[in-house]
Structure 1
Amino acid sequence: MKYTQLGRTGLRVSRLVLGTMNFGPHTDEADSHAIMDAALDAGVNFFDTANVYGRDPRGRTEEIIGSWFAKGGGRREKVVLATKVYGPMTADGSPAWPNHDKLSAVNIRRAVDASLKRLQTDHIDLYQFHHIDRNSPWEEIWQAIDVLVQQGKIVYAGSSNFAGWHIAQANEAAARRGSLGLVSEQCLYNLAERRAEMEVLPAAESYGLGVIPWSPLHGGLLGGAIRKEREGGGLRSSGGRSGEVLADPAQRKQIQAYEDLAEKHGLAPGELALAWLLTRPAVTGPIVGPRVGEQLDSAVRAVDLDLGEELLSTLDEIFPGTGPSPEAFAW
């Protein structure tokens, strides 16, 4: 496994991030524990979750991670643990009561204590804002975060699904307080969805945030969707995002060209998509959310792939990005 610094911090993390959203809804506790053990064996030390993960009930994913930590063996000490706050914890996603969601100081304090209990740990390494809260001022948010840092309950703060100007706004407010501010941004970014290159990545680079892309395979679309469709497999490829894209002739042609390119170079499509992200400026590591151990093995192989300039150029031809702002929309 290869490691890098998380943004401008001194924290060393693996170039792959273990996503846990499937733990509970799709992967039972025993298999989830086995995947986390395998991740550690492969050198993956960066685990990502959220308080709302688990569906039935929300919080179940954190509980699964907590029961794994409770097994001991240095598991907690080896992991850089990231979780998130924002969403309500009710089954239908609606607020159970005023101030039981979003980023008020009251909810941040309540949510972090609840996550610590479920995770069976005394601290969270990276506490991420799952979404922007337009009604909570940054002065209030940073006051709450500074208290949690002083109490030893969290170490760093990060964002998720922020616009570039949100990153700037948050970190300028933190600077006025003498606080560290955001050290990471978790965003939707992959070969097929490159809008983050317009403003989010430049803002992250400027403010020293590590970028953690989620959905690196774009819902399975970049994982060999057409081949799996042809072979009668790939449940995720037949519906949702992949199904909509493949139903469009122009986009299907684009994905076919991508799969043909991967085959030409003897690469698995999913591993190529992950390896491409690892060449992008500011990217710390993509989040991989395996349902089974074999998917983790494939992701780990991507870390060692060396993509040449010719291959990278061809990928840009197939999936042209927008480029940074303002050139993306102005002269």
Structure 2
Amino acid sequence: MDYTHLGRTGLSVSRTILGTMNFGPQTTEDDSHAIMDAAHDKGVNFFDTANVYGWAKGEGITEQIIGRWFAKGGGRREKTVLGTKLYGDMGDWPNDGKLSALNIRRALDASLKRLQTDYIDVYQFHHVDRDTPWDEIWGAIEVAVAQGKILYAGSSNFAGWHIAQAQEAAKSRHFLGLVSEQSLYNLIARDIELEVLPAARHYGLGVIPWSPLQGGILGGIIGKEDGGKRRLEGRSKEFVDSHRTQLESYENLAKELGHEPGELALAWLLHQPGVTGPITGPRTMAQLDSAVAAVDIKLDQDALDKLDAIFPGHQPAPEDYAW
């Protein structure tokens, strides 16, 4: 496993990040524990979750599964860089969601209890809160840092100007501010190249792509469909039908390069400046193996150029749309 610093911090994290969103809804607790043990065995030390995962309002099912895994001991918590998130409603009462100082305090304490730990390494804002001023947010986070309940703060789904707004507010308070940004980013979805990536690089945030395979579409969907291994429905089917030639070219290139399509998509992300590592949410052990294998893939400029030709990206703004 390769490691890198998370943004401008001294925190060393694996370049494969274990996403846990499937733990509970799609992966049993026993299998989830086995996957986390295997991740440690493979050198993966950065695990990502959220208080809403498990999709039963207020229960934090996925956090509870991770907490019971930590409780087994054996250095599990000590070996893990743990990230969780808040923003979504955890109840039906006012102040049960978003980023008010009150909810930050309550949500953090609730996550700590479910996770059976006394601190969170990277506490992340799952979405921008347009109704709460940054002085209030940073004031609450500074208290949590002083209490030893969190070490770093991160964001998710922020626009570039939201990152700038957050960092300038933190700077005025002589506070570290954000150290990471989780964004939708993959060969198909490249909009963050316009402003989010430049902002993250400027302010020293590590970029953590989520949905790196675009819901499985970059995982060899044409071959699986033709081989009868997967039947597409809804929007995925519409997208594949309208982009079939493009996806066929991609899968043929993967075959030419000697890689599985999903591993190639992950490897491409690891070659993008500013990217810490993609979040992969394995449902099975085989999917974990594939995610880890991508770290060792080295792509030359010719391969990167061919991928850009198949899936054109963006220049930074404003050059992308101005002279």
Q: TM-score, normalised by structure 2?
A: 0.98
Letter aligned with residue 218 of structure 1: Q
| Equivalent in the alignment of 2:240 | 246
Distance (Å, rounded) in 2 between the aligned partners of 1:115 and 1:319: 39
Corresponding position of 1:221:
217
Within 5 Å, give how 1:90-239 maps onto structure 2. 90=91, 96-234=92-230, 238-239=232-233
- Counterpart in the other structure of 2:82: 81
Aligned-pair distance for 1:79? 0.2
Equivalent residue letter for 1:154: I
Count of residues in Structure 1 that have an aligned counterpart in Structure 2: 322
Distance 1:23 1:35 in 2: 10
Alignment partner of 1:307 out of 286, 299, 323:
299
* AA at the equivalent of 2:236: S
Q: Deviations over 1:281-315 (max 9, x none)?
A: 11000000000000000111100001111111000
CA distance in 1 between partners of 2:201 and 2:300 (Å): 24
What is the rounded CA distance, in whole Å, between the counterparts of 2:229 and 2:154 in structure 1? 37
C-alpha contact (below 8 Å) 1:220/1:242 kept by paired residues: no
* Partner in structure 2 of residue 255 of structure 1: 247
- Check the 8 A contact 1:187/1:211 in 2, yes or no: yes
Distance 2:259 2:270 in 1: 15
Distance 1:304 1:240 in 2: 34
How far apart, CA to CA, are the structure 1 residues paired with 2:292 and 2:85? 24
1:241 CA displacement? 4.5
For structure 1, the residue ranges without an aligned partner over 5 or more in a row are 91-95
Q: Residues 266 and 241 (structure 1 numbering): CA distance in 2 closer, same or farther, change over 3 Å?
A: farther
Find the counterpart in structure 2 of residue 52 from structure 1. Answer: 52
Q: In percent, how many aligned pairs have the same letter?
A: 69
Look up the SS of the partner of 2:180 in the other structure.
strand
**RMSD value, Cα:** 0.9
Letter in 2 for 1:52: V
CA-CA distance at 1:234 after TM superposition: 2.9
Q: Using the TM superposition, give the Cα deviation of residue 156 of structure 1 relative to its aligned residue in structure 2, in angstroms.
A: 0.1
**1:272 lines up with 2:264 in the alignment:** yes
Q: Which amino acid aligns with 2:287?
A: Q
TM-score normalised to the size of structure 1?
0.96
How many Å apart are 1:240 and its aligned residue? 4.8
Amino acid in structure 2 at the alignment position of 1:295: Q
Deviating beyond 3 angstroms after TM superposition, the runs of 4 or more aligned structure 1 residues are none
Contact 1:7–1:210, Cα closer than 8 Å, also in 2? yes
Q: What residue is the counterpart of 1:282 in the other structure?
A: 274
Matched, 1:3 2:12: no
Contact 1:221–1:241 (8 Å) recurs in 2? no
| Aligned partner letter, 2:113 | K
**1:21 match:** 21
Unmatched 5+ stretches in structure 2? none
Q: Secondary structure at the match of 1:322?
A: coil
For residues 307 and 290 of structure 2, what CA distance do their matches in structure 1 show?
20
| Bigger mean CA offset, 122-131 vs 239-248 | 239-248
Q: Aligned residue for 2:317?
A: 325
